Amino acid sequence: MYPGFLHWWKEGQRQAGRCDSRAGCGVGEGVPRHHDRGHDGHDAHEVWASGDDGGGGFGVRRPLRFMSWKLELNETQVEQLASILADLKTERAQAAVDHRRSVGLFADALEGDVFDGDKAAHGAEGRVQTAAKLKAAVLVALTRTHAMLDPEQRKALAYLLRSGQLTI
């Protein structure tokens, strides 16, 4: 089955009242995992993956919700984490713009009859500066995150990073 069709198939299964392991809601063996969730019967990962979270599919919603759930954050911590992730998102968006600008400079350097080393060097220097800014932003985000978490939450976050469930 085409992967893009899975969401529609699962939704059809739910509407037909057949929400079980075949519809992707259960663990297998006919034992649905959502019966002990205490909410509308569907796993939170499914909602995040399908984009049915009431908002856009981009931004800091997914990592924020995932980290809030996995780390069991209180409301104050969630607000602080939202601020941290928003700042990081802004820096990464600026890095993407800078990357596109450097690609343009590289293209300009190659376009003429003679290679323009100054433009290429300017593009390369821009990438170095962007990497330094992004490095600083990540370090600030890690420092702020460490300060707001308790020791158990820090251990859980370290595990999420090591296991690859979360990336920085």
pTM tops 0.85, yes or no: no
The DSSP code for 29 is T
Average pLDDT rounded to a whole number, residues 43-52: 37
Same domain, 75 and 149: yes
Same domain, 78 and 152: yes
Domain boundary, last residue among 55, 80, 99: 55
Same domain, 93 and 141: yes
Same domain, 51 and 69: no
Same domain, 112 and 144: yes
Same domain, 80 and 146: yes
Q: 3-class DSSP state for residue 32?
A: strand
pLDDT, tens only, 67-107: 999 999 999 999 999 999 999 999 999 999 999 999 999 99
- Which residues are CB-contacts of 89 (< 8 A; sequence separation ≥ 6)? 59, 60
Nearest in space to 101 (alpha carbons), one of 141, 130, 81: 130
Same domain, 35 and 71: no
Nearest in space to 102 (alpha carbons), one of 128, 80, 84: 128
Beta bridge partners of 26: 32
Same domain, 48 and 126: no
Lowest-confidence range among 48-52, 117-121, 164-168?
Answer: 48-52
Q: Which residue has the tokens 């063996």?
A: 29
Q: Residue 25 pLDDT more than 80?
A: no
Average pLDDT rounded to a whole number, residues 141-164: 94
Please state, for a pLDDT cut of 70, what percent of the chain lies above it. Answer: 70
Residue 168, in any domain of the structure: no
Same domain, 141 and 82: yes
Same domain, 150 and 68: yes
Same domain, 74 and 15: no
Question: How many Cβ atoms from other residues are within 10 Å of residue 30's Cβ?
Answer: 9
* Tokens describing residue 147: 């300060």
Q: Residue 59 pLDDT more than 50?
A: no
**Full domain range(s) for residue 77:** 64-163
